[in-house]
């Protein structure tokens, strides 16, 4: 009797993608309650007539007390500018939500600021959809890995049984020489089995860790999505890294725009360009791409169309909500998306929403 085939072990690729880094500074009181059909619903206010439970409390502020009365004076003392574009950077901020961050800019002296809708409501945008797709992909990878581990466990059990049968066979041999050869052969198969068993156990531990990590990420993402849909207050980071709080005033119904406001303050703001934007005009994109704050890139307007203003100025993830300004420092559009082949990091064109859309959506607040 011989063992025809020793266990062939395949190292299962574990280490699922680390999908998300969640910001915890998106501020809102979050309550949950059951509707008439017994389903959990979430709100930023207690629901009248039902038992609402507070599950996430407003932290009451950010660095310091989160209030600055004169942002203009604060930044003017710290920065000296030689041209209008540099001066325009004082009005640009980073806006942080529970699921990420984007850019924004002040459009009035009394601290109204504009950003993209998908920056303050990320659970209703393309980035959220992409993250959901990644989570589903990772769930499928996890399922496949668990199936492979189950199959490998069965192979190990079969090989262990074969080893036990072979040992009984060796012990039953009458010839000393044959028995010695059989024991030596058994020792080799036993060694291989133990190596395969060790690899299996190590892979199982990695898979268990990955599954625990994935489940936590999925739970965090789901909870963060709920919070992002009801949050009314956001951390805003100024050019000098000072943090303040802005409340959500309005989200545009059709355009990818949102209006926020910092209470009781004065801010450096960008004046809106009143002339027509022309193809070939030099423009500058200001924002916080790829986690890097206060970045400025330049280019030209490549096209003006009903879709918006296209530019070859470098616009990357995180630039969303930032301004597109002229050489004179006037804002002509709100940077929104990057159109590129395969990846937003590749060479492509940025699309921006004309500043006239801001007036159309929020004009009543900006008089």
The pLDDT mean for the chain works out to 80
User: Is residue 180 in some structural domain?
Assistant: yes
Dist CA 112 CA 365 (whole Å) = 8
Domain termination site, one of 212, 230, 248: 230
User: Is residue 247 in some structural domain?
Assistant: no
User: Is residue 84 in some structural domain?
Assistant: no
Task: State pTM to two decimals.
Answer: 0.62
Query: Binning pLDDT at 50, 70 and 90, where does residue 25 land?
Result: very low
What is the pLDDT at residue 39?
Answer: 58
What is the pLDDT at residue 131?
Answer: 77
User: Is residue 199 in some structural domain?
Assistant: yes
Mean of pLDDT values over 99-123: 89
317 near 289, Cβ under 8 Å? yes
Domain termination site, one of 185, 207, 230: 230
Check whether 63 has a pLDDT greater than 50. Answer: no
User: Is residue 332 in some structural domain?
Assistant: no
User: Is residue 102 in some structural domain?
Assistant: no
Question: In terms of domains, do 140 and 224 share one?
Answer: yes
Domain termination site, one of 203, 230, 257: 230
Query: Binning pLDDT at 50, 70 and 90, where does residue 44 land?
Result: low
What is the pLDDT at residue 230?
Answer: 72
User: Is residue 302 in some structural domain?
Assistant: no
Check whether 195 has a pLDDT greater than 90. Answer: yes
Residue scoring higher pLDDT (320 or 249) = 249
User: Is residue 141 in some structural domain?
Assistant: yes
How many domains is the chain built from?
2
Check whether 235 has a pLDDT greater than 70. Answer: yes
Dist CA 64 CA 48 (whole Å) = 34
Instruction: Determine the structural domain holding residue 225 and report its residue range.
Output: 130-230
Nearest CA to 286 among 274, 299, 277? Answer: 299
Nearest CA to 297 among 350, 252, 343? Answer: 350
What is the pLDDT at residue 227?
Answer: 67
Report the DSSP beta bridge partners of residue 93.
104
Mean of pLDDT values over 72-77: 92
Check whether 9 has a pLDDT greater than 50. Answer: no
Nearest CA to 42 among 225, 233, 220, 230? Answer: 230
């Amino acid at each position: 009797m011989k063992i025809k085939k020793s266990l062939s072990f395949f190292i299962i690729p574990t280490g699922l993608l680390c999908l998300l880094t969640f910001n915890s500074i998106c501020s809102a009181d979050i309550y949950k309650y059951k509707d008439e059909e017994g389903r959990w619903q979430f709100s930023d206010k207690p629901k009248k007539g039902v038992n609402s439970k507070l599950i996430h409390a407003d932290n009451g502020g950010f660095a310091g007390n989160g209030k600055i009365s004169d942002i203009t004076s604060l930044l003017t003392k710290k920065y000296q500018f030689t041209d209008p574009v540099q001066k325009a950077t004082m009005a640009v901020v980073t806006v942080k939500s529970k699921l990420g961050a984007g850019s924004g800019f002040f459009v009035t002296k009394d601290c109204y600021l504009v950003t993209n809708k998908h920056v303050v409501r990320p659970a209703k945008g393309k980035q959220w959809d992409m993250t959901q797709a990644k989570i589903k992909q990772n769930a499928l990878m996890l399922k496949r890995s668990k199936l492979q581990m189950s199959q490998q466990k069965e192979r190990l059990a079969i090989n262990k049984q074969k080893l036990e049968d072979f040992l009984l066979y060796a012990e039953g041999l009458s010839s000393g020489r044959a028995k010695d050869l059989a024991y030596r052969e058994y020792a080799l198969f036993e060694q291989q089995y133990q190596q395969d068993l060790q690899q299996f156990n190590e892979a199982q531990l990695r898979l268990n860790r990955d599954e625990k990590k994935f489940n936590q990420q999925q739970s965090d993402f789901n909870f963060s999505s709920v919070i992002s849909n009801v949050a009314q207050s956001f951390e805003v980071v100024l050019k000098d890294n000072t943090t303040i709080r802005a409340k959500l005033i309005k989200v545009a119904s059709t355009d990818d725009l949102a209006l926020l406001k910092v209470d009781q303050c004065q801010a450096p703001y960008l004046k809106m360009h009143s002339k027509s934007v022309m193809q070939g005009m030099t423009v500058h994109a200001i924002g916080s791409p790829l986690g890097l704050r206060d970045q400025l890139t330049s280019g030209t307007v490549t096209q003006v169309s009903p879709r918006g203003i296209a530019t070859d100025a470098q616009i990357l993830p995180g630039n969303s909500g930032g301004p597109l300004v002229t050489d004179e420092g006037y804002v002509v559009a709100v940077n929104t998306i990057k159109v590129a082949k395969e990846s937003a990091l590749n060479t492509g064109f940025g699309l921006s929403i004309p500043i006239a859309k801001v007036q159309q959506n929020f004009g009543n607040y900006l008089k």
